[in-house]
Every structure is written in C-alpha cells, then in structure tokens.
Amino acid sequence: MSRRTLGFVIFAIVVSAICVRLGFWQLARREERRALNAMLAERLGAGPAPALEVVRDSATAQYRRATARGTYDFTREFAVASRTNQGAPGVHIITPLRIAGGDTAILVNRGWVYAPDAMSVDLGRWVEPETATVTGYLIALPSKGRGGVSMPTVPRTVRRLDVDSIARRLPYPVAPFLLVQTAPARTVADSATVRVTAPVLDEGPHLGYAIQWFAFALIGLIGAALTVRADRRGGGRRQLAATAPRPRAQ
C-alpha cells in the first residue's frame, strides 16, 4: 500500500468515526426530545390549577396548565417585539392580570398581533374585557442580569421578557411565570389577538440527521476500501510489468 493510499485510509476512518459519533449524539438528542414530550404531554394534558398555587413549586410549574381570575391592568401592558406567526412579523401582547383577593399580579401573554416592523402596535386596538378568567400554560420568566429589555424608541415595547426588569416597571408584586393564554379571545375593540399555541410534540429532525451521519460514515469506509482495492490492483499490475520478460534487441 502506498503512503498516499495509507494516508487517505486513515483520514477516511477518522472522519467516519466522527460521523458515527455524531449519529449517536443525534439519537441521544432524540431520546431527550422524547422525554421532554412525555413531560409536556403530561403537564399540558392535566386539568388547570390556580396559577399562584402552581408557581409555588417552580420545579414543576413549567408548562403546567393553570387558570387565574382577576382584573387586567391595560394601562401597564406592553408588547414583546420580533415575534412571528406563519412568517408574518408582529408582537406578543403582555398584560398584567391582578389576581382577585391578593396584591400579586401574573403576566398574561394574550397573543400575537401583526406589526409591519415587528415592534410598533396600537395596544388600544386589542382590548378585552377588563375582568377575566384566563386559562393557559405557564412559562418561567428569565431573570438576573439579562437587563436592557426596554426599547426607548418604541414606547411600551420590550425586546424580551426579564422578570427583574418587568418587576421594576410595575407598582405591585409579579409572579415569576408567564401565563400563556389559550382560550379564544373575547374582544371589546375591533380585532382579536392570535393566541399562542402550545409546544409541538414531535421528535424533531434528529432521526433523519442520525441516518445522514451514519450514511456519511458508511460512504467514507466504502471509499477507503475501494481506494485500497485500486491501490492493490495498481501495485499488482506494476509488479507484473516489472517481472515480464523484455524483448531482446535484434
């Protein structure tokens, strides 16, 4: 075997081993996705519980179905910029809901609305009845050190949600979870928001990616084998040519 062929074979084996490792990594990610889907199916399929009771256990509150009854504070609602719906630009409208019988509020994602620049929206168009019973699922709000959420050029619009920054904007305590409303909108204005749907329970592209990586590994090994075979045939022909009797000079 020539040095060139040996070098190619070593390279092909190393690349194939990496591809196999990546293939198993994708299979592991698929199993993680399956476990997440099982958790989501269990929590999203359970009956709704009072939101402020659910959030007391932050370890199990994520994606739990919950309900809250109270009064919307439309004067302090805001929009989250750069949210899309079927490819269209828009924002999510976030409204504090002051829970009946207490001083704590919970932020409610009332849904998506169209905004050409994905930032500016007339919040007054999307008013719902002030007193509401909201049903949906809970999402933990990020906190600590993210900062910089405000957009000074667009009033009442933020880049992202940050519970610490949001709490400083409100004169009352706010729960560290967002309640994503799923019930149909009941408006008192001229339009209705598009409710945000629950996470899709699928396995993603991981199996397809794993098959691709394994296929790349197989191609590399087959290429190495064919190269060795060709090298041996070439070496055999050279050996025959060297040992073949030469014609005598006349």
User: Could you report the per-residue pLDDT of 59-78, keeping only the tens digit for each?
Assistant: 899 999 999 999 999 999 99
Domain that holds residue 77: 64-181
- Are 123 and 224 members of one domain? no
Asked whether residue 212 is domain-assigned, the answer is yes
- Are 68 and 171 members of one domain? yes
Asked whether residue 53 is domain-assigned, the answer is no
Question: Domains in the chain: how many in total?
Answer: 2
Asked whether residue 54 is domain-assigned, the answer is no
What is the token pair recorded at 86?
């079927």
| 8 A C-beta contact, residue 152 and residue 81 | no
User: Could you report the per-residue pLDDT of 167-209, keeping only the tens digit for each?
Assistant: 888 999 999 999 999 877 665 555 688 999 888 888 889 999 9
Asked whether residue 114 is domain-assigned, the answer is yes
**CA end-to-end distance (rounded Å), the chain:** 38
The DSSP symbol for 114 reads E
- What is the mean pLDDT of the segment spanning 153-164? 83
Asked whether residue 55 is domain-assigned, the answer is no
